[in-house]
Structure 1
Amino acid sequence: MTRRSCPCGLPQPYEACCGRYHSGAAAAPTAEALMRSRYCAFVKGDAGYLLRTWHPRTRPGTLELDPGMRWTGLEILGTGGGSAFHSAGTVEFRASYRGGSLHERSSFERADGAWVYVDGEFPA
């Protein structure tokens, strides 16, 4: 049986990669790992995880995901901070979907020791 790699683009199977963050078995250790797991949550349609990993200061009350959206790939373009030694970080990425792509520079902070998404900007 061939195991597929995680939708986030890393070679591990989903369960050993982002799946462990989605289930709550582990917390993302870096801003990049959280960003990858959030992309994977969009792929899987896991709005609950997206809301749980969104900073309370900027989190929307609800999140409606488009069930017709088909995400097709993730490319990390750059990172700043976001390691175990930082309290904030950024991840710039391109997320491809059927028919186009989204280019974002996301900001992350630690809240109660865990990485959370704060907001993003869309570079020209």
Structure 2
Amino acid sequence: MPAPRDCPCHSGERYNACCGPYHRGTAKPETPEALMRSRYSAFALGLGEYLTETLASDHPDRSMSAAELSKGLFASWRRQRFLGLTIASAKTDGDQGQVLFFARVFEKGQDRSFAELSQFRKEAGGWRYASGVLVRKEDLPADVASLTPEALLALAR
């Protein structure tokens, strides 16, 4: 598949100047938000290897073989369309980071959009996705842009 012109992370930048260098391995995301955006783009483009490489060493998906994980990601990618990304908040505290985002995702005509509070950790010289708390769109307030990490965690209970 040829590289897209606009970056799938919806930053407004061109792919080759935004997430492309991360996906090609010529640069590393310098912040948790940059890693989160690059992972969203990787989901949109079906880049299972990148998604696997950017998992924290203790992430539960690491227990699966790379082939199993890639197969599952590819099957998911074929069914889904990633149509938008909104960052509600992002913070970094030393080697820990947190990003709250809303992703517009459709699967076979069904709205599968969600908000997630993602946790990131710096290890092995780069940021890695450690975990996330996800709330589906139907359980979110109408104004997702005003969502706070605390409000998302309350909704997830």
Which position in structure 1 is the counterpart of 2:129?
117
Alpha-carbon distance between aligned partners in 2 of 1:5 and 1:48, rounded to the nearest angstrom: 21
* Candidates 73, 88, 96, aligned match of 2:84: 73
Higher relative contact order (CA 8 A, sep 6+): 1
- Would the aligned equivalents of 1:51 and 1:59 in 2 still touch at CA under 8 Å? no
In structure 2, the partner of 1:24 is: 25
Q: Please name the residue that 2:116 is paired with.
A: 104
- 2:11 and 2:53 mapped to 1: Cα distance? 22
Matches within 5 A, 1:83-102: 86-98=94-106, 99-102=111-114
Q: Distance in 1 between matches of 2:5 and 2:26?
A: 20
Shift of 1:4: 3.7
SS in 1 for 2:43: helix
**2 CA distance for matches of 1:25 and 1:114?**
13
Richer in helix (by share): 2
The gaps in structure 1 that reach 5 residues or longer are none
Partner of 2:10: 9
Identity over aligned pairs, percent: 39
In the other structure, the counterpart of 2:52 is 51
Please report the TM-score for the alignment, with normalisation by the length of structure 1: 0.89
Cα deviation digits, residues 31-70 of structure 1 (max 9, x gap): 0000000000000011100000000111512421211111
Q: Which runs of no fewer than 5 residues in structure 2 stay unpaired?
A: 135-151
Q: Which 4+ residue blocks in structure 1 deviate beyond 6 angstroms?
A: none
Read off the aligned partner of 1:97 and give its amino acid letter: V
1:35 paired residue number: 36
Matched residue count = 119
Distance in 2, matches of 1:15 and 1:80, equals 25
Higher Cα Rg, which structure: 2
